[in-house]
Amino acid sequence: MINRRQLLKSSAFAGAGLASGAAFAQSPNEKVVVAVMGVNSRGDQLASALGGVPAYEIAYICDVDERAIAKTTQTVMRRQQKTPQGVKDFRRILDDKAVDAIFIAAPDHWHAPATILACSAGKHVYCEKPACHNPREGELMIQAARKYNRVVQIGTQRRSQPAVVEAIAKVHAGEIGRVLLARGWYNNTRQTIGYGKPASVPDWLDFSLWQGPAPERPYRDNLVHYNWHWFWHWGTGELGNNGIHALDVCRWGLNVDYPTHVTSGGGKYRYQDDQETPDTHTVTFDFGDKASITWEGRSWHPRGFEESGFGVAFYGDKGSMIIDGANYRVYDMKDKVVTQSTGRLTDAPHLQNFAECVKSGKRSNADVEDGVKSTLLCHLGNIAWRTGRALDLDPKNGHIKDDKEARALWGRDYRKGWEPQV
């Protein structure tokens, strides 16, 4: 891939060298010093949330949109006294030994390549969901985290939410009996993205760097900054965008790893436009004779299940549990509420957990291995939809059996010089 050595040859700090995982030492600073990469939306939210956790200091704000750098710098300055540096290329951060960790909130196609480079530079990583753009990248992310002994946490923050942790503990303790089915769902009223037209790249955007590892395509006026989610070249659709949160909780509650069989149905029905990913999507994941998970997403209609636009439900032979945000309630077999708890879903517990793990070296609540396993469910659901076929899988590793076309979607092509390597 385009590595930091190539970049640094043309920069003022060419002699800095590559910090290896083995050479990494705990920061002498009392705070965990971090950089935030990709701050147009989620990254700006993370920067604000980081300012509310005393364990952190933000040293860098990184984005290919110079307007976003300015905006998030102001966000950070409302929370800390020291002004962060603004950079476009996150690789310019990697040789700063004062930086302990990088928060990656760039588009999906950046998640794995940036994580792997950061680990190889001795940085810990907080990577937003989904963990990766395709299954092969997830395997490489785990390899990088282990090879360089880095803490890599995925932004599936319900893993650290006290009420959700409590709810899952009740499921594991058998409060609703043997759980045979878990259901996740997500609903929204998204508008059409229209038909994009070729256009000049805005002067505030480094579009070549925005594409980074993905093979270059011409700029169009309906792509940046959000609609890339609905193109397979850069995004993972609603299943990877929001389905990951529900599927991660489903898999956690059922205590399962890899499915044996995946079926997928639905389509793009609501609008005629450039969107490639389905706006109506139902996926079923079978885990042998243990249990099943179903997920349903509708991007064009607000009404979901259990009076919630987003949620998770567990159905056991002694009752059921509904998790909605940071709230949960338990029903008996007569459909009577027997237990309930309310809370507020925030980033703070997850961010605090990451800071503690960076300092201690322990694996986080949402370790990369768990994040990749849950993200794989999203990829498998998308692959089944794209091929129009059910998938048979190896339950030991989730690999696709006997389907050449589906297995071709396990990885992707990369822009020359950007191939992830561990």
Percent of the chain surpassing pLDDT 70: 93
d(CA 158, CA 321): 16
Predicted confidence (pLDDT) per residue in 125-163, tens digit: 999 999 999 999 999 999 999 999 999 999 999 999 999
Predicted confidence (pLDDT) per residue in 260-298, tens digit: 999 999 999 999 999 999 999 999 999 999 999 999 999
Instruction: Answer whether 318's CB lies under 8 Å from 333's CB.
Output: yes
Percent of the chain surpassing pLDDT 90: 92
d(CA 372, CA 133): 10
Backbone phi, psi, residue 231, to 5°: -120, 130
- The burial of 194, by beta-carbon neighbours within 10 Å (0-12 exposed, 13-18 middle, 19 or more buried), is given as middle
Among residues 150, 206, 151, the alpha carbon closest in space to that of 354 is found at: 151
| Cβ neighbours of residue 79 closer than 8 Å, sequence gap 6 or more | 48, 50, 51, 52
Structure confidence at residue 19 as a pLDDT band (50, 70, 90) = very low
Structure confidence at residue 6 as a pLDDT band (50, 70, 90) = very low
Beta bridge mates, 323 = 312, 328
Q: Among 4-18, 134-148, 298-312, 403-417, where is mean pLDDT lowest?
A: 4-18
Predicted confidence (pLDDT) per residue in 316-327, tens digit: 999 999 999 899
pLDDT(12) > 80: no
Predicted confidence (pLDDT) per residue in 378-416, tens digit: 999 999 999 999 999 999 999 999 999 999 999 999 999
pLDDT(220) > 90: yes
pLDDT(13) > 70: no
- DSSP 8-state secondary structure symbol assigned to residue 216: P
Mean pLDDT of 161-183: 98
- Give the pLDDT confidence score for residue 30 in this predicted structure: 87
d(CA 140, CA 414): 14
- DSSP 8-state secondary structure symbol assigned to residue 188: E
Mean pLDDT of the chain: 93
Q: How far is CA 105 from CA 332, 345, 369, in A?
A: 40, 19, 18
d(CA 32, CA 121): 16
- DSSP 8-state secondary structure symbol assigned to residue 199: -
Predicted confidence (pLDDT) per residue in 108-119, tens digit: 999 999 999 999
- 231 token code pair: 């193109």
The strand pair at 291-298 and 280-287 is best described as antiparallel
Judged by DSSP in three states, 20 sits in coil
d(CA 267, CA 238): 12
Predicted confidence (pLDDT) per residue in 342-382, tens digit: 989 999 999 999 999 999 999 999 999 999 999 999 999 99
- The burial of 66, by beta-carbon neighbours within 10 Å (0-12 exposed, 13-18 middle, 19 or more buried), is given as middle
Q: Taking the mean position of all CA atoms in its chain, how far away is CA 250? A: 16
d(CA 118, CA 95): 10
Q: Give me the residue label for tokens 């949109």.
A: 65
Q: Judge if the upstream peptide bond of residue 130 is cis by omega within 30 degrees of 0.
A: yes
Residues 101-127 as b or e (16 or more Cβ within 10 Å = b): bbbbbbbbbbbbbbbbbbbbbbbbbbb
| Residue-range domains of the chain with CATH | 4-159+351-366 (3.40.50.720), 162-346+375-410 (3.30.360.10)
Q: Taking the mean position of all CA atoms in its chain, how far away is CA 301? A: 24
- Give the pLDDT confidence score for residue 29 in this predicted structure: 59
pLDDT(333) > 50: yes
Among residues 64, 97, 99, the alpha carbon closest in space to that of 84 is found at: 99
Amino acid at 174: G
